[in-house]
Amino acid sequence: MTKHYLSMLDMDPETARAVLDRALEMKRTRHRSRLLDGKIIALLFEKASTRTRLSFEVAVRHLGGEALFLSSRETQLGRNEPVRDFARVVSRYLDGLVVRTYAQQTLDELVAFATIPVVNALSDQFHPCQTLSDLLTVYERRPDLENLVIAWVGDGNNMANSWMNAAALFPFTLRMATPHGFEPSADVLARSQRLGAKIELGNDPVAAVTGAHFVNTDVWVSMGQDDPEGAKRSAFEPFQVNDTLMAHAAEGAMFMHCLPAHRSEEVTEAVFESNISIVWDQAENRLHTQKAILEWIFTQD
């Protein structure tokens, strides 16, 4: 059966923990293999990228495969070729697709018609590879994950949705604070809670951060969005992660950001460049987690 990774819930809790353990082992051993020997994995990107593209290209090479980058502008998708037609054609050339797209619907249609694995490298609804690698960064420091509080402060975006999914797989408490009108998906929240996620959702950043062991945020205006009048930035100003907000967190709390960051917007320079910031470990861990995800996908059960 072909494996896909479109959201974190494509793994069960046992599998997700095993992939984290494997990613940590790969990091410690600087893992290389020939698992993907003879295989070509295409990276189809509608959005520009630094960490996602580099980490996946290097991951494929570390596993012995070949990565082929495709911009949607350079394919017939950019000229409105139906996604289903694209999926059926490239399935005859390639061994896997890593897709960074605007619409989750694009991924769903690719999976419906492709006969090769499809990995969500980012969509408007989810960012599972980023969130799993961020969890690796937490896991390195707190391997029990029990009695752990992770705060999300800012936009209820694709990252927020994926963190809610993560809370359904791992036993930490997720406290979320977003401005009114910018809450994460109610459907994703409800499903994660049905699966046992411990999520506290509100509109007060101080309440979310108080006692938290990790404080996580993202940009206020994501790629492809517009805020010409600055209305969104104005609504988000009380949600900036700064020294005052971090003072409410638990002793030894760490700051997280998936990058790229807009300094002086969602986070101050002082916090971002401080010794409590673990953003560079997060960025590095994209590589190790990507390798573990690819190994999970291409290893036969």
pLDDT over threshold 90, residue 226? no
pLDDT, tens digit, for every residue of 110-144? 999 999 999 999 999 999 999 999 999 999 999 99
pLDDT over threshold 80, residue 27? yes
Which member of 4, 53, 62, 286 is catalytic? 286
The closest of 160, 99, 169, 96 to 126, measured between CA atoms, is: 160
The confidence score (pLDDT) of residue 225 equals: 61
Q: Domain locations in the chain?
A: 4-127+285-298, 129-282
**pTM for the full model?**
0.95
- Give the lowest-confidence range in 70-74, 235-239, 271-275: 70-74
The confidence score (pLDDT) of residue 229 equals: 56
pLDDT, tens digit, for every residue of 144-180? 999 999 999 999 999 999 999 999 999 999 999 999 9
pLDDT band at 232 (very low <50, low <70, confident <90, very high): confident
The confidence score (pLDDT) of residue 208 equals: 98
The confidence score (pLDDT) of residue 73 equals: 76
pLDDT over threshold 60, residue 223? no
Going by the annotation, the residues of the binding site are 49-52, 76, 100, 127-130, 158, 218, 222-223, 258-259, 286
Going by the annotation, the residues of the binding site for carbamoyl phosphate are 49-52, 76, 100, 127-130, 258-259, 286
The confidence score (pLDDT) of residue 72 equals: 73
pLDDT over threshold 80, residue 207? yes
The per-residue pLDDT of the chain, averaged, comes to 95
The confidence score (pLDDT) of residue 81 equals: 87
Question: Residues 178-190: what's their mean pLDDT?
Answer: 97
The confidence score (pLDDT) of residue 222 equals: 74
Q: Is 286 a catalytic residue?
A: yes
Q: Is 34 a catalytic residue?
A: no
Going by the annotation, the residues of the binding site for L-ornithine are 158, 218, 222-223
CATH number for the domain whose boundaries are 4-127+285-298: 3.40.50.1370
pLDDT over threshold 80, residue 77? no
pLDDT band at 231 (very low <50, low <70, confident <90, very high): confident
State phi, psi for 95 to the nearest 5 degrees.
-110, -10
CATH number for the domain whose boundaries are 129-282: 3.40.50.1370
Instruction: Say what percent of the chain tops pLDDT 90.
Output: 90
Which member of 4, 62, 124, 130 is catalytic? 130
Which member of 124, 134, 218, 281 is catalytic? 218
The confidence score (pLDDT) of residue 296 equals: 98
Question: Residues 42-63: what's their mean pLDDT?
Answer: 95
The confidence score (pLDDT) of residue 94 equals: 98
Q: Is 127 a catalytic residue?
A: yes
